[in-house]
A and B are shown apart, each in its own frame.
Chain A
Amino acid sequence: MRLLLFAADLLANLLFGALAGLAASAVIPDGWNMFVAMVVAMPVGMLVGLIGSLLLLPLLGAMEVMLPLMLTGMVAGMAVGMMAAMHPVALQQSLQIGALFGLVSFGFCFLANLLLQGQSKSWIN
């Protein structure tokens, strides 16, 4: 079961990272200031992550889905949004870069959880 959940979490982050990238490239036009593009694309990506969280929450649980997907949406949106401000981004490219950032976010959350999970503070033995 743990392996299934791992695979489902990974796929969810790849999928919604790609969708966040797509949404960011659709919203940010070529020629925008990069900082403005980043600030606008970030909530767009996070909104995609939030929608993904709400869709997957019943099957995959709450925090374990919400936190990685919101992070995925945020960074995928920011990255693709900034790229779209510099030059036009093709559909396939926005999906691929979004998915890549989904993978990076998933890896970050997975490693952070490996370090923290089970960590127990005990004052009475």
Chain B
Amino acid sequence: MDQLTASKWDRAAKSFDLMNGVGSELRWGAAKKNLFADMQGRILFLAVGTGLDIQYFPPGQQIIGIDISGEMIARATPRAEAYPGKMQVTQMDVHELPYPDAHFDQIYTSCTFCSVPEPVKGLQALHRVLKPGGTLGMFEHTGSGLFPFNLMLHLMTSLSRALGPEMNRPTVVNVQQAGFEVTSITNHYLDVVRSIRAVKGALISPPQHGS
């Protein structure tokens, strides 16, 4: 377990709902609900946080939610228990997933890969536990390919890194480097807040594109 990252997010857990529970949900709730509407089968949800996203999950699913922070899991547990389906939340590091290869039908993330210290390795771990043909659905904020937003995000990252997320990650490229095939990208705010859908398996090679 990466204790440094765990303790960083333990500290963030105390104010997480205050910072993210209203404004971000007003902006992003509909997009998240749309992404999660495709949930089916055995699902891994990465970085469940305090469980704010559980309200957008379609009912009746079988979901394992993980987070590196014990404080986050403690806050997510009542929300997971209230979910109308089978949901289990547990503290876990994405780099140390104890599941066998090809275990999950789908994997979802929500504002996760701004924070995983080694994003490509983390995505490779997800690739391992996903069944061939299984899908990865990500709601993420990424770096921008456009000036001046890329400059802003680089500057903000120098401050935000100490408290939590990095703002300038090339997440789409990271997904491809981890072995996934990106099937679609939908922008929700500029080219920064995006839904990314990817698949494990040989379908059609996507063209190279920006972050």
Contacts and interface: CB of A to CB of B under 8 A. Distances in A.
B82 interface: no
Given A67-B152, A117-B189, A61 B204 contact: no
B184 A120 contact: yes
B186 A70 contact: no
Contacts of A61: 23-24, 26-28
A57 B19 contact: yes
B189 A71 contact: no
Contact of B189 (A50, A56, A59, A113): A113
A120 B181 CA distance: 16
Nearest to B185: A121
A117 B187 contact: yes
Contacts of A62: 20, 23-24, 141
A36 B163 CA distance: 31
Contacts, number: 94
A29 to B, nearest CB: 26
Interface string B182-199: 111111111111000001
Q: Classify chain A's interface size.
A: 20 to 34
A86 to B, nearest CB: 24
Given A61-B24, A116-B191, A123 B156 contact: no
A8 to B, nearest CB: 9
A3 interface: no
| Main DSSP-derived SS at the B contact region | mixed
Contact of A124 (B20, B28, B183, B189): B183
Interface in A31-82: 46, 50, 56-67, 70-71, 74
Contact of B23 (A57, A113, A117, A121): A57
A109 B159 CA distance: 22
B203 interface: yes
Given A70-B156, A71-B148, A117-B187, A64 B22 contact: no
Which 6 A-B residue pairs are closest in the complex by CB-CB distance?
A61-B23, A61-B27, A122-B184, A120-B186, A60-B23, A123-B206
7 contacts: A60-B27, A61-B23, A66-B152, A71-B148, A112-B149, A121-B206, A121-B209
Interface of B: 18-24, 26-28, 141, 146, 148-149, 152-153, 155-156, 159, 181-193, 199, 203-204, 206-207, 209
Given A60-B27, A63-B192, 11 more contacts: A56-B23, A58-B18, A58-B22, A63-B189, A74-B152, A109-B190, A117-B189, A121-B206, A121-B209, A122-B184, A123-B183
